[in-house]
Copies of this chain bind each other. A is one copy, B any other.
């Protein structure tokens, strides 16, 4: 993404969303985000790890170290509070995009099948 300000405020919500689908570790999240967005969102370690720590401190996610192919990985999972936060933030995001469209008229809609 060229405009580095746009992604602000979305990192935490995206992490919660991914963890609501399955347990994941940090590096895996970075790669998953990059893949799903077709390389549009490329997060740096300095972006994700502090965000994960903050989410854990807030009790929205929980972590546990596990061994995979000899390397220790810190797996994160969504807590009940995290699920609530995800719902709330998804609503905020939806309102934001809707408001943005009311002026910019981006019309990010798919063709009917």
Mark A residues whose CB is within 8 Å of B: 1-10, 13-14, 17-18, 33, 36-38, 40-41, 89-90, 92-104, 106, 108-110, 112
Q: Are B38 and A3 in contact (CB under 8 A)?
A: no
Q: Are B97 and A100 in contact (CB under 8 A)?
A: yes
A108 / chain B contacts, CB cutoff of 8 Å: 94, 97-98, 101, 108-109
A1 / chain B contacts, CB cutoff of 8 Å: 92, 95-96, 99
Most chain B C-beta atoms within 10 Å of own C-beta, residue among A14, A103, A109: A103
Q: Which of B4, B18, B99, B100 contacts A103 (CB 8 A)?
A: B18
The docked-state distance in angstroms from the alpha carbon of A10 to that of B96 is 11
